[in-house]
Structure 1
Amino acid sequence: MLQRLSMGNSLYQALKFPQKVAFIGVAALCFAGISGCRRTHGPDVVATVNGKPIMRSEVEQLYQSNLGESKQQQTKEQADIVRLNIIHQLIDEEILMERAAKLNLTASDEEVENQINEFKAPYTQEEFNKKLSDSHQTLDDLKRQIRRAKTEEKLFNKEINSKINITDADITAYYNAHKSEFNLIEPMYHLARIMVTSIPLPPQQQTVNLQNSKATNDAEAKKKIQTLHNRLESGEDFGLLAQNFSEAPDTASNGGDMGFVSESQLHSSPDVYNAIQKLNPGQITDILPVYDNQHKTVGYAIFKLIDKQAAGQRELNDPRVQQTIRGQLRDARQQLLRNAYLEMLRDEARVENFFAEEIFKNGAQ
């Protein structure tokens, strides 16, 4: 639909001639070969959103950042798939940024600088500069990413999160339909985790945490996890540190929250199980090694025990049950509404993806 809208608008611009005869003549030419009537664009422009260009240099910078220190060679097809995904994300981001600007929700310079200072806190200036260089970024690139992330957060909070209301009736209905889920057949541990590894990010993944902080070798991983452990023992918030620095892709965005883990699952990692058994809710473990399938150390982790629940049926009047259900319902509605919201904004936008057209044209030959 977006492409049809875009083509229609371009055609309209191409046909705006004062003479009626000229109008008819150009119209005939355009319908004979629509591709020739599109606006021209430079070779450095891979897409546009409402006329604003997305530059090839930004796509390549993000592509190189994806590769990190990986030495794995990609085929041209694999590389172009990654680039297509990057462009799709940049298009969505630009659509959201334009909407936020209309609502005066763009992140301020002060908000960006505050986040930069948080990112720089664990490092010397030299170390911070090296992190930027290793990730193929400049300071301006990082600031742009931060501004986008904070702007998107402000936009979603206003347009979506503030409008979600989970009622007591919603919670009761969910509990009655899923009562068996709250019958614990064994003890459960509510855990959070901060993890740092030397494993490169997969090519399709651009970032793993808010700071885009990634260790590239074992020495960096050890230093980073020790710094984070020191900050935790100094009283800093576990969730905020996890969001900014954890390299666990499945939990970093949630503040490291792993949800509830069964006792039998913990037994599969004896080091973690033994460390967790020594904790009271709210306490953290020492630094623990992270192993691969060959029991080789590939990183380090810190766990926090948030809560522990004994086996048995949990009733609806248990505040923990209500909190769990409320969180699950809110997360589900947020995801649904965000997807719907972005689709509506896409329908209103004029998007042209020249890179996709180029790929399709070359592939069809």
Structure 2
Amino acid sequence: MNSPIRKVVVTQKFFDEEAIALLESKGCEVDIATLPEGKGEADLDVDDICQLLAGAGGWIVGHARVTREVLEALPDLAIISRRGVGYEKVDTVAAEALGKVVTIAAGGNNDSVADQVIGMMISLGRRYREAQIAMNAGKWNILVGTELFRKTVGIIGFGRIGRSLAQRLQGFDAEILVCTPRLASADIDSFGLKQVDFETLLERSDYISVHAPLTPETRHMIDADALARMKPSAAIINTARGGLVDDRALLAALQAGRILGAGLDVFESEADPTMMPVTEALIDLPNVIAAPHSGASTHEALQRTNMIAAQCVVDVLDGKVPSMGQCVADGRK
């Protein structure tokens, strides 16, 4: 069996010198791709990708769609290393069938996303965006807000980010409710938290933060009915994936004043451009704190995920099991 080709193409922005140095120290040729003019990584089509990755054995990728067609057209490609924690944009079944490895940079962005959630909660409760809009209009009247201290916070999903968030919330003396199908009650009890059903979490929480993967089962888990069960004084935070929240239903609830507000780092329009008018209407609301899917984009988190992605590439090209991150598909025989 021939040794894997050690050319590594990086199509993500902000890939730092330390990660490049790691790859080069292990005999890899690193190509920081120049994307076609006017295109971001998510806009790359099959032809674009094939031109950029010609002769590559490793690919460090973020938002591009890695389809079976792409994988079949790149026979030299041994590893697709996502600098992120989701893998729904990668056809992992095709990767397995075609003998390729897919990894994610699990553990690299927990802290940055958890920090973002805390910031959104405080900003919504204290009405910072509303106050600044009013001040810009010359109205300096005080808007009375609410504290995060000793509030009830519901966490949907209790993976790495959910746990990092729970650790931070304990500093606010918050009551933390957890709803997750993936962990036994004992796992959550060991954190000193309460596991509840979905309906209880919706009805009791002052803040709800969604940290579930996007699957057919979780799509629109926060729909019009779920929003109607929330307290009028409660806020919803989604930093996980667009599609977990029904954005149309959320917009209607916010416009009607049925909930306090929303913190959104992800939107349905990311995968469905026809939803952009809904996104634009959401981010225009004074009680919405919005970001452009940037929860993992701190200097520190990018350095961590770059190194994890790079180490995964090195390990696979060396014929090893990845020592960092998480391997989500391994088609090697």
State the TM bucket, normalised to the shorter chain. under 0.3
TM-score using structure 2 length: 0.25
Name the larger-Rg structure. Answer: 1
